């Protein structure tokens, strides 16, 4: 076997043919001319041909590879081309001579030439990041190809090829000889030998069929689906097709994916599941998959190192070297038993979980009633006001819990909140695979099952027949290694960590990432049976909860993300899901003082325990809060209504305008949002919120062009007169009909488009026109006002105007339902003719205490100033991204109301809608909450809690830079 001819051929250099020679061959044998560009290849010469009428690939190889080996490739492509449901594949093109393989001689070389159609689409080669959906699509493509090839037959399939993993042992041994570094050689040898040994007992169960062997990033082409996701759907280059193990098809795809997985082998699992869905695997194939991936990685690296020794200047091979080293490293980095388990679970064929136990207890004297089990998940009452971020908090909590009886224990299978990390691109290792106990000094520990006892590092290790036990904290003096029976005394301990593991070769981690919890949980089951304690946490069922929500919660109330994290806690600008993953909250304009503020929580708690009633009663908080709001407003706006939301505030403002003007016609802006109630919805024109917005406005609503100085009809800051002029036709039309104007409503900064400043003087001019006709001017400050802009408390301050009515909500209650209308006494009193105004909860004692406390915190923590400083810093960082990435069209806004607008072309301003969606999805994976907004869903509205730190702003900018750099 070792001297078989195919092994020697792995050492042949590529044919010596340049682009001129290729052009001559093309003309002579196919009658074609055109632009020629060389494509990379390990052993052949490939050229892309563009004749103007069509694109082709000219493939030239040594005759050592020709005959049935080329015929089988053409045959396979034709075969797959006839299959419904098969992938796109190129079709061979006949030469002038009629055949589709031409033998030529060039400069003493005997060569074979073929021409194929060029398959359009993007290869995945240069893609720095592949989304789970793209990875799944690649697995699906490999599965569909495997199904299409199942009934293909050809004599050329029976050839020897170095990629046929049935021959891996001989191939690797042959290639190892050419590797000069003994350490590299030994590593490849050891890794491949272990994987080959794991594979050997499974081989008889592996099905044979034609296998492409190379559904990898270089050899597929992709197109974007309607959501902009890159979907590989075409396969090129059938050069490695031969009969082989069916599962080797998936193994070669997965090995290639290890280069795209950021060092995390689990990221191949969507491809495995998708392959199985298209082409179901049998159990032996499931178990053989990971050993085959490792073997393929070993063949790749060995072949590459060997090829380099033959052709040190082949750039294609040099370029691949680093690539293949990464694949090999990742393949070596995970315990094979873990991957086998994870693959089984991903395919819905989990391994049996039971294990026999002979009933002995680890701590014979333990009385479960005395043990205080301490929950340490994010809902644990032990955690408050950020104490989970303090080093060693779990130990101190456990110690404190043990004070009463001497016993305390943590829970196995819990997502430990003290393990959360802020600003982490990957989910932290939070899932506990162990139980920690605090025991009275000198507590006796006994063997729960028979086995061999040994000392491993800092742990005591007991290897039983089916299970191993890792114990940390047993007094080393008290241990005597050797064989023990169940019930034998092992030693004494006071703090003890208990962990099981099925695999004696694994030293299991104490905590693992949430996405690995199931696989690790199988390998390291709960030690509860050994302890006789109820110390297992039940996993949160976030998916089940979402399904229940979708069933009962009215559909128009959408949720962020298709697979949303279950967020149950927050602190400052950070949100946490039930697995202990933290997310930087860059969208929550409502929570201005930050999440989980202890001062607000205790003020609210106190007020609830004192009184909560309605504003017809006389109490201090409503007076104080109204006074403070009136003080914040400009001179003359001294009268306050308290409601529960922005919609209510705008609804009331419209009614005030109607009452005070005795007219009904309102002017509003296009692409605006003012609320959901009947009247506030009537002046909401944004099609992102309501696709029918432009066709369903009542006749009293007159929408004018929004002064969007970035993408509106008039661009730049010197457009005030142009935009003001767009209001005139409405006024003239009303005049012509003899109708009067009630007023004008607009955000004072164009919040809905990302915080674009209105052109200077716009509001002054429009307010003048409106007031001349007896109308009132409403400033909707629900989003942009209340200090968020940093440089101004109110948005209208930037325009140097004073409205007649201000509406506020959102931030003033930090998420508590609270809204207000601030106006002049005259306007408020005009409303009295319509009767009383009363809102049952508006201005309640609790709401007013919330409002007052938010203002206290804003003052004491200087949050407006923070919004200015951090906002300016962040804006500069975003502008710097604009220098690097063409996708950034503009950075709008100020303070902590910023808008990052993405365009595919800075000249035409074509909205980059798909890209924005993909960027937000990826940011979410990196721990940042961000959503596409604006009428074209191409704007990131950046409006985080106003307590955002510079560190958090930098994390956001860094992650954005990373995503833009990775592509999408
Ligand atoms: N006005 C503006 C400018 C808003 O952005 C919103 C909410 N997005 C509202 C009014 C309505 O506020 P609420 O959701 O509190 O009813």
> Is the CB of residue 117 below 6 angstroms from any atom belonging to ligand 1?
no
> Is the CB of residue 650 below 6 angstroms from any atom belonging to ligand 1?
yes
> Is the CB of residue 673 below 6 angstroms from any atom belonging to ligand 1?
yes
> Is the CB of residue 755 below 6 angstroms from any atom belonging to ligand 1?
no
Torsion sign across C-alpha atoms 13, 18, 23, 28:
negative
d(C-alpha 245, C-alpha 267), whole Å: 23
Q: What is the pLDDT of residue 683?
A: 97
pLDDT exceeds cutoff 70 at 2: no
**Which pLDDT band, with edges at 50, 70 and 90, does 911 fall under?**
very high
pLDDT exceeds cutoff 70 at 633: yes
Q: Which atom of ligand 1 is nearest to the CA of 590?
A: 15
* 511-522 average pLDDT score: 98
pLDDT exceeds cutoff 70 at 514: yes
Q: Which atom of ligand 1 is nearest to the CA of 810?
A: 15
Cα-based distances in Å from 40 to 9, 37, 319, 709, 917: 19, 10, 10, 47, 33
**Which pLDDT band, with edges at 50, 70 and 90, does 180 fall under?**
confident
Q: Which atom of ligand 1 is nearest to the CA of 819?
A: 15
CA of residue 673 to ligand 1 center, whole Å = 7
> Is the CB of residue 785 below 6 angstroms from any atom belonging to ligand 1?
no
CB 927 within 8 A of CB 579: no
| Residues contacting residue 891 through CB under 8 Å, at least 6 positions apart | 875, 878, 879, 882, 898, 899, 900, 901
Q: Which atom of ligand 1 is nearest to the CA of 677?
A: 16
pTM of the model: 0.94
CA of residue 746 to ligand 1 center, whole Å = 12
CA of residue 750 to ligand 1 center, whole Å = 13
- Comparing CA positions, the residue from 7, 38, 41 lying closest to residue 22 is 38
pLDDT exceeds cutoff 50 at 3: no
> Residue 580 is encoded by which pair of tokens?
């202990």
> Is the CB of residue 430 below 6 angstroms from any atom belonging to ligand 1?
no
* 658-686 average pLDDT score: 96
Pairing outcome for strands 408-409 and 372-373: parallel
| Residues contacting residue 657 through CB under 8 Å, at least 6 positions apart | 666, 742, 743, 745, 775, 776, 778, 805
**Which pLDDT band, with edges at 50, 70 and 90, does 821 fall under?**
very high
Q: Which atom of ligand 1 is nearest to the CA of 784?
A: 3
> Residue 192 is encoded by which pair of tokens?
């491949």
> Is the CB of residue 461 below 6 angstroms from any atom belonging to ligand 1?
no
pLDDT exceeds cutoff 90 at 955: yes
**Per-residue pLDDT reduced to its tens digit, 872-887:** 999 999 999 999 999 9
CA of residue 621 to ligand 1 center, whole Å = 25
Q: Which atom of ligand 1 is nearest to the CA of 676?
A: 16
How many CB atoms within 10 Å of residue 1? 12
* 322-349 average pLDDT score: 96
> Residue 554 is encoded by which pair of tokens?
């009215």
**Which pLDDT band, with edges at 50, 70 and 90, does 218 fall under?**
confident
Quickly tell me which residue has 């933290």 as its tokens: 582
CA of residue 918 to ligand 1 center, whole Å = 26
Q: Which atom of ligand 1 is nearest to the CA of 680?
A: 10
> Is the CB of residue 780 below 6 angstroms from any atom belonging to ligand 1?
yes
| Three-point CA angle 249, 252, 253, nearest 5° | 85
d(C-alpha 503, C-alpha 338), whole Å: 9
pLDDT exceeds cutoff 90 at 321: no
> Is the CB of residue 782 below 6 angstroms from any atom belonging to ligand 1?
yes
pLDDT exceeds cutoff 80 at 223: yes
Quickly tell me which residue has 């391994």 as its tokens: 351
> Is the CB of residue 565 below 6 angstroms from any atom belonging to ligand 1?
no
Q: What is the pLDDT of residue 569?
A: 98
> Is the CB of residue 671 below 6 angstroms from any atom belonging to ligand 1?
no
Lowest mean pLDDT among 226-230, 295-299, 785-789: 226-230
Q: Tell me the percentage of the chain whose pLDDT exceeds 90.
A: 87
Cα-based distances in Å from 178 to 64, 304, 307, 308, 653: 22, 10, 9, 9, 82
Which residue is closest in CA terms to ligand 1's atom 5? 783
CB 175 within 8 A of CB 309: no
Which residues share a beta bridge with 431?
415, 512
Which residue is closest in CA terms to ligand 1's atom 12? 646
> Residue 552 is encoded by which pair of tokens?
């009962």
Please choose from 810, 819, 939, 941 the residue to mutate so as to test ligand 1's pocket, defined by most ligand atoms within 8 A of CB. Answer: 810
Please choose from 675, 747, 784, 788 the residue to mutate so as to test ligand 1's pocket, defined by most ligand atoms within 8 A of CB. Answer: 675
Cα-based distances in Å from 515 to 113, 432, 501, 519, 611: 49, 13, 19, 9, 46
Lowest mean pLDDT among 114-118, 157-161, 397-401, 479-483: 479-483
Which residue is closest in CA terms to ligand 1's atom 2? 674
pLDDT exceeds cutoff 80 at 309: no
């Amino acid at each position: 076997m070792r001297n078989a001819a195919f092994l020697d051929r792995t050492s042949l250099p590529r044919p010596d043919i340049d682009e001129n020679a290729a052009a001559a061959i093309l003309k002579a044998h196919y009658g074609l001319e055109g632009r020629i560009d060389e494509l990379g290849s390990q052993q052949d010469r490939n050229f892309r041909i563009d004749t103007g009428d069509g694109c082709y690939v000219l493939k030239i190889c040594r005759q050592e590879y020709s005959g049935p080996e080329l015929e089988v490739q053409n045959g396979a492509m034709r075969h797959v081309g006839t299959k419904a449901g098969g992938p796109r594949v190129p079709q061979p093109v006949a030469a002038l001579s009629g055949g589709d393989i031409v033998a030529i001689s060039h400069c003493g070389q005997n060569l074979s030439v073929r021409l194929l159609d060029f398959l359009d689409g993007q290869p995945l080669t240069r893609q720095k990041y592949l989304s789970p959906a793209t990875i799944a699509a690649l697995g699906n493509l490999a599965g569909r190809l495997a199904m299409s090839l199942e009934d293909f037959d050809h004599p050329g399939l029976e050839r020897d090829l170095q990629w046929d993993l049935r021959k891996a042992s001989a191939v690797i041994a042959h290639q190892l000889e050419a590797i000069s570094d003994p350490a590299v050689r030994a590593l490849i040898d050891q890794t491949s030998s272990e994987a080959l040994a794991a594979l050997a007992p499974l081989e008889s169960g592996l099905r044979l069929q034609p296998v492409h062997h190379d559904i990898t990033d270089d050899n597929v082409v992709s197109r974007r689906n309607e959501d902009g996701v890159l979907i590989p759907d075409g396969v090129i280059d059938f050069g490695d097709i031969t009969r082989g193990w069916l599962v080797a098809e998936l193994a070669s795809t997965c090995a290639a994916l290890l280069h795209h997985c950021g060092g995390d082998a689990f990221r191949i699992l969507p491809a495995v599941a998708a392959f199985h869905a298209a082409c179901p695997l049998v159990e032996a194939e499931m178990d053989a998959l990971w050993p085959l991936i490792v073997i393929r990685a070993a063949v790749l690296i060995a072949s590459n190192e060997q090829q380099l020794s033959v052709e040190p200047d082949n750039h294609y091979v040099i370029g691949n070297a680093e690539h293949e080293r990464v694949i090999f490293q990742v393949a070596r980095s995970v315990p094979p038993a873990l991957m086998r388990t994870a693959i089984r679970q991903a395919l819905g064929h989990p391994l049996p979980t039971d294990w026999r136990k002979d009933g002995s207890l680890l701590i014979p004297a333990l009385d479960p009633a005395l043990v205080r089990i301490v929950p340490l998940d994010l809902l644990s009452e032990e955690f408050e006001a950020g104490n989970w971020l303090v080093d060693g908090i779990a130990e101190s909590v456990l110690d404190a819990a043990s004070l009463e009886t001497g016993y305390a224990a943590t829970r196995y299978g819990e997502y430990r909140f003290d393990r959360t990390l802020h600003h982490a691109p990957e989910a932290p290792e939070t899932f506990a695979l162990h139980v920690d106990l605090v025991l009275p000094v000198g507590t006796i520990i006994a063997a729960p099952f028979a086995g061999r006892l040994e000392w491993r590092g800092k742990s005591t290790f007991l290897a039983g027949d089916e299970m191993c036990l890792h114990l940390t904290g047993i007094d080393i003096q008290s241990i005597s290694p050797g064989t023990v029976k169940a019930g034998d005394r092992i030693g004494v301990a006071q703090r003890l960590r208990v962990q099981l593991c099925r695999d004696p070769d694994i030293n299991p981690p104490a905590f693992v990432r949430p996405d690995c919890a199931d696989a690790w949980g199988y390998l390291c089951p709960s030690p509860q049976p050994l302890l006789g304690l109820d110390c297992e946490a039940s996993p949160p069922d976030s998916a089940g909860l979402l399904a229940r929500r979708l069933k009962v919660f009215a559909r128009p109330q959408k949720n962020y993300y298709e697979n949303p994290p279950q967020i149950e806690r927050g602190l400052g600008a950070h949100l946490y899901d039930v697995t202990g993953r933290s997310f930087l909250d860059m969208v929550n304009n409502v929570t201005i003082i930050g999440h989980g503020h202890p001062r607000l929580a205790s003020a609210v708690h106190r007020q609830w325990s004192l009184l909560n009633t309605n504003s017809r009663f006389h109490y201090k908080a409503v007076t104080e809060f109204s006074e403070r709001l009136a003080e914040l407003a400009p001179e003359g706006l001294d009268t306050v209504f308290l409601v529960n939301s922005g919609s209510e505030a705008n609804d009331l403002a419209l009614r005030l305008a109607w009452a005070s003007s005795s007219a009904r016609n309102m002017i509003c802006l296009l692409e605006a949002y003012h609320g959901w109630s009947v009247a506030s919805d009537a002046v909401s024109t944004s099609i992102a919120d309501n696709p029918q917005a432009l066709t369903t406005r009542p006749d009293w609503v007159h929408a004018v062009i929004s002064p969007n100085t970035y993408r509106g009809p008039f661009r730049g800051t010197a457009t005030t007169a142009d935009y003001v002029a767009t209001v005139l036709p409405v006024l003239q039309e009303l005049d012509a009909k003899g109708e009067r104007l009630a007023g004008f409503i607009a955000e004072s900064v164009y919040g809905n488009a990302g915080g674009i400043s209105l052109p200077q003087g716009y509001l002054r001019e429009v307010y003048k026109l409106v007031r001349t006709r007896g109308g009132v001017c409403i400033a909707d400050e629900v989003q942009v006002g209340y200090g968020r802009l940093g440089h101004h408390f109110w948005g209208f301050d930037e325009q140097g105007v004073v409205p007649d009515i201000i509406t506020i909500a959102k931030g003033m209650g930090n998420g508590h339902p609270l809204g207000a209308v601030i106006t002049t006494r005259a306007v408020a009193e005009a409303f009295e003719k319509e009767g009383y105004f009363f809102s049952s909860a508006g201005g309640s004692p609790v709401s007013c205490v919330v409002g007052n406390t938010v203002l206290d915190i804003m003052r004491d923590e200087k949050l407006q100033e923070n919004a200015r400083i951090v906002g300016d810093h962040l804006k500069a960082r975003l502008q710097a991204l604009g220098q690097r990435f063409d996708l950034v069209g503009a950075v709008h806004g100020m303070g902590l109301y910023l808008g990052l607008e993405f365009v595919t072309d800075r000249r035409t301003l074509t909205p980059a809608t798909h890209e924005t969606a993909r960027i937000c999805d990826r940011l979410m994976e990196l721990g940042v909450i961000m959503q596409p907004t604006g009428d074209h869903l191409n704007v990131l509205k950046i409006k985080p809690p106003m307590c955002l730190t510079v560190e958090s702003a930098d994390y956001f900018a860094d992650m954005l830079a990373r995503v833009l750099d990775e592509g999408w």
